[in-house]
């Protein structure tokens, strides 16, 4: 059984998911992602390792961390996830710069309870003041899992490549332009990017386009607006790729 339900409130996107056979393609988010495994075992690759979260496990993704995801076995998986824009998370956590979590799976019963209460409350449309106060507590608890010291975000060439791929997400990015900017050959650039990010430049670029498409749909509730603004060929093209990352098509997401 596969079910993906999205809700957005107070700037936070909530995902409630049931899945057995579905597998997320490798991708990255602009937001922080805070989740809890409710039933079953949740597996994903991140940083060259396979990680497993079991019931009560808290999953923590920093922005731009490349990962996939699936149920560990045929018994299936149930989990909830909060996707929080970086500025909102940093403000609530009292941090001045991007935080990087020390581990993608932790055992913290108080944090797990807070995430689930917030996810369920937002999905039911509970009071914004109550939700904001609960989110403040969740963000501050999550920030305690921050890595120390913070690792560097990669070398200047990798950072510049990410900027160019992200800034060109609404049009067709030319590989020649990036390689000229970085003074690299095409194949050296592709190898270097994949080694540094764990994902190919095209996969990263597509992930950025889909992230932007999600933002457009959240603002307009119109999947066709995302097709037009994000450079997809047509709605079926967007739907096909959107489902591989978010579990639902862009059309279904717009209706949610």
Per-position DSSP letters for the chain, written without gaps between them: --EEEEEEETTEEEEEEEESS-EEEEE--SSEEEEEEEES-EEEEETTEEEEE-TT-EEEE-TT--EEEEESSTT-EEEEEEEE-HHHHHHHHT-SS---BS-SEE--HHHHHHHHHHHHHHHTT--HHHHHHHHHHHHHHHHTTB-SSPPP---HHHHHHHHHHHHTTTS---HHHHHHHHT--HHHHHHHHHHHHSS-HHHHHHHHHHHHHHHHHHHH--HHHHHHHHT-SSHHHHHHHHHHHHSS-HHHHHH-
Q: How far apart are CA 43 and CA 2, in angstroms?
A: 16
Domains, the chain, with CATH or none: 3-143 (2.60.120.280), 156-255 (1.10.10.60)
pLDDT at 95: 84
pLDDT at 176: 87
Residue 234 sits at the vertex; the CA angle it makes with 81 and 217, to the nearest 5 degrees, is: 35
Could you read off the pLDDT tens digit of each residue along the chain, which spans 256 residues?
799 999 999 899 999 999 999 999 999 999 999 999 999 999 999 988 999 999 999 999 999 999 999 999 999 999 999 999 999 999 999 887 777 898 999 999 999 999 999 999 999 887 888 889 999 999 999 999 877 444 454 578 888 999 889 887 666 778 888 999 999 998 899 999 998 888 999 999 999 999 999 999 999 999 999 999 998 999 999 999 999 999 999 999 999 8
pLDDT at 171: 67
Q: How far apart are CA 100 and CA 112, in angstroms?
A: 19
Q: How far is CA 47 from CA 111, 163, 194, 214, in A?
A: 23, 21, 12, 25
pLDDT at 226: 95
pLDDT at 151: 44
pTM to 2 decimal places: 0.86
């Amino acid at each position: 059984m596969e079910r993906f339900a999205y809700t957005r409130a107070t700037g936070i996107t909530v995902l409630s998911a049931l899945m057995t056979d579905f597998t997320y393609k490798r991708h990255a988010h602009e937001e922080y992602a805070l989740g809890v495994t409710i039933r079953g075992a949740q597996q994903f690759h991140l940083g060259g390792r396979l990680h497993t979260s079991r019931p009560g496990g808290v999953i923590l993704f920093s922005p731009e961390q490349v990962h996939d995801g699936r149920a560990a076995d045929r018994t299936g998986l149930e989990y909830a996830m909060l996707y929080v824009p970086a500025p909102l998370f940093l403000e609530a956590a009292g941090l001045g710069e991007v935080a990087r979590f020390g581990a993608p799976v932790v055992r913290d019963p108080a944090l797990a309870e807070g995430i689930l209460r917030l996810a369920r409350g937002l999905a039911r449309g509970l009071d914004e003041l109550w939700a904001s106060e609960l989110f403040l507590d969740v963000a501050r608890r999550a920030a305690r899992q921050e890595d120390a010291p913070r690792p560097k975000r990669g070398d200047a060439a990798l950072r510049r490549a990410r900027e160019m791929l992200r800034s060109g997400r609404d049009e067709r990015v030319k590989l020649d332009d990036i390689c000229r900017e970085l003074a690299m050959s095409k194949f050296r650039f592709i190898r270097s990017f994949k080694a540094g990010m764990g994902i190919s430049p095209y996969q990263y670029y597509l992930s950025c386009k889909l992230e932007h498409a999600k933002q457009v749909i959240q603002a307009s509730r119109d999947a066709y607006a995302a097709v037009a603004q994000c450079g997809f060929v047509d709605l079926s093209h967007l739907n096909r790729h959107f489902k591989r990352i978010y579990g639902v098509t862009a059309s279904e997401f717009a209706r949610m």
